[in-house]
Structure 1
Amino acid sequence: MTEQQGKTRVDKLLTQLLTDQSRSQIQGWIDEGLVEVNGVSVKANYKCVEGDTLTWEIPETKPLILEPENIPLDVIYEDSDVIVINKPKGMVVHPSAGHQSGTLVHALLYHCDDLSGINGIERPGIVHRIDKDTSGLLVVAKNDIAHQKLSEQLQQKQLKRKYVAIVHGEIGHDTGLIDAPIGRDPKDRQKMAVVDNGKSAVTHFRVIERFPDYTIVECQLETGRTHQIRVHMQYIGFPLVGDPKYGQRKTMNVDGQALHAKEIGFYHPQTGEWLEFDANPPEIFTDALSFIRKMY
């Protein structure tokens, strides 16, 4: 252990060393006793010191078996090629570490006879995703041709995605464009941030309603980076209400970020017809709006 690596939490240090592993995965290894310092198992918050010997064992990957689950879905539109879902707040889109059941994918496997296989066994049909605590619309591909054509629209910025969000602070101008690259936060691997070497990220926003301490905004994505709207709005000084990663400590309790994917539009992969759908925000979102309006 070098002097520079000393005083660093062991889970954070291993995340820096093993860049292809998430911090949550490494914390799982630590809980299983697979990480030792000087031959002794340690906890995730152990702070390394110069001279320590760090050893770890990478567990054997278990094959993922996805079982369909009878979870209700709010289906907005469906045909033999695509299905548009209004995802509830709190639902994870596809399986990942810590989310091996109860995802949108598990529900889709029960609902649909077939889904595209382009993204592999873990993400059948998933063309794009929205965060666990973000509610709203996404389109799923039922076959590989539909998936390929929808992915092309996404890459060519033809797929329309509009969100509504509640942010802290009063935005003075009516419209704005945020063009700032997003990548992994070098200080916290579990977060994203605006960084010089990040991927191009562009968000357009329009003020719907403003108050002395809050603003209701509509955001339209030109790109689709992880946590893009959350990172961009925090970057310009207006973090989302309720955001546990990028928001203020004192905020309204809305069970995660106040963000809803309210509109989606795309060209049908078979007919070429332009389809556009709209979904109202969930009750917890509208209750927060009502609370803000009553305050002023």
Structure 2
Amino acid sequence: MMSVRSTTFDIPEPAAGQRIDAVLAGLTGVSRSVAAGWCSGGNVTMDGAPVQKSTRAVAGGSLTVVVPEKIDPLRIVAEPVDGMGILFDDDDLVVIDKPVGVAAHPSPGWVGPTVVGALAAAGYRISTTGAPERVGIVHRLDVGTSGAMVVAKSEHAYTVLKQAFRDRTVDKQYHALVQGLPDPLQGTIEAPIGRHPAHDWKFAVMEDGRPSVTHYAVEEAFGKASLVKVRLETGRTHQIRVHFSALRHPCAGDLTYGADPRLAAELGLTRQWLHASMLSFDHPRSGERVAVESGFPMDLQYALDALTGGTV
């Protein structure tokens, strides 16, 4: 007999009037298309009544999702990940150097390796606060983005770090190789971001999107592309990729957001050139500032060398 997993969520006040698939995506972290599939499959009820993906949420109500166990990927599988380094480690937290191709945690539709699975395979005990499949995760990097990412090991660290990200006291610095030369050479991009109206897996600058702020400074210009240091004030999904695409300077290799496939091929890129190069935050127990840096991985360095060497 097939077992099922049932999860119930309270509908928050700001979600009133929104489509159920959008609300579920926000509550669970799955893509909107997956949430829509749950609805069309009859797996979602609101206050006990079945709903469709376009049904509007009612504040104060509850959503229940019932997913058959055999199609439920939200379990942690201990799986070693080659190339995942440790940049900082103590009793409260660990900062990992996430390779490309690794998700932060399990999610529907993802069958590859995860950060939580890699840490479990390495014998780490991480915080059990939060959703079962996201233990210890206080922020995320895209599957196609590499670099520094902090994971909470203690319950205290989880609570404090989650609040630090909400309060924007964490300094998140990235490096991106963007096409062309941004003008001005340094500045701030303030443009709200929301889900793309035509593509569930993409985001875009939208008038009714969430406030999003990106600070940047060009470090080196190569003609066809520029190396840019980026600091995020907010942390929206795909924020850097969306903001630079909106400026018509997409990240090199980011074909999803309009990058030139010919330049990507010339640079040997199979993903966006985007790397979380530095993470700085107050230690949740000592209060001392922790700053951790991550060097560019081989594929991104190869692309830079091709530009500096004049072969592209």
TM range (shorter): 0.7 to 0.9
Q: 1:214 and 2:225 equivalent?
A: yes
2 CA distance for matches of 1:88 and 1:113?
Answer: 18
Q: 1:237 and 2:251 equivalent?
A: no
In structure 1, what is the equivalent of residue 81 of structure 2?
71
Q: Secondary structure at the match of 1:270?
A: coil
Q: In structure 2, give the amino acid aligned to 1:68.
A: A
In structure 2, what is the equivalent of residue 256 of structure 1?
271
Change (3 A) 1:141 1:112: farther
In structure 2, what is the equivalent of residue 40 of structure 1?
none
Q: 1:272 and 2:287 equivalent?
A: yes
Change (3 A) 1:172 1:67: closer
In structure 2, what is the equivalent of residue 135 of structure 1?
146
TM-score, length-scaled by structure 1: 0.79
Q: In structure 2, give the amino acid aligned to 1:285.
A: L
Tell me the number of residue pairs that the alignment of Structure 1 and Structure 2 aligns.
Answer: 256
Change (3 A) 1:197 1:232: same
Q: 1:105 and 2:112 equivalent?
A: no
Indicate if the aligned counterparts of 2:21 and 2:32 stay in contact, CA closer than 8 A: no
**Deviations 1:165-187 (Å, cap 9, x if unpaired)?**
11111224221100111111112
2:34 to 5, 18, 25: 25
Larger radius of gyration: 1
TM-score, length-scaled by structure 2: 0.75
2:68 to 61, 73, 76: 61
2 CA distance for matches of 1:138 and 1:61?
Answer: 32
Q: Mind listing any 5+ residue stretches in structure 2 that lack a counterpart?
A: 1-18, 26-30, 43-64
Indicate if the aligned counterparts of 1:169 and 1:212 stay in contact, CA closer than 8 A: yes
Higher helix share: 2
RMSD: 2.4
Q: 1:188 and 2:199 equivalent?
A: yes
1 CA distance for matches of 2:236 and 2:245?
Answer: 15
2 CA distance for matches of 1:65 and 1:18?
Answer: 22
Runs of 4+ more than 6 Å apart: 26-29
2 CA distance for matches of 1:65 and 1:109?
Answer: 12
Indicate if the aligned counterparts of 1:136 and 1:260 stay in contact, CA closer than 8 A: yes
Change (3 A) 1:127 1:27: closer
Q: 1:165 and 2:165 equivalent?
A: no
Q: In structure 1, give the amino acid aligned to 2:205.
A: V
In structure 2, what is the equivalent of residue 153 of structure 1?
164
1 CA distance for matches of 2:81 and 2:225?
Answer: 35
Change (3 A) 1:238 1:81: same
Give the C-alpha shift of residue 128 in structure 1: 0.4
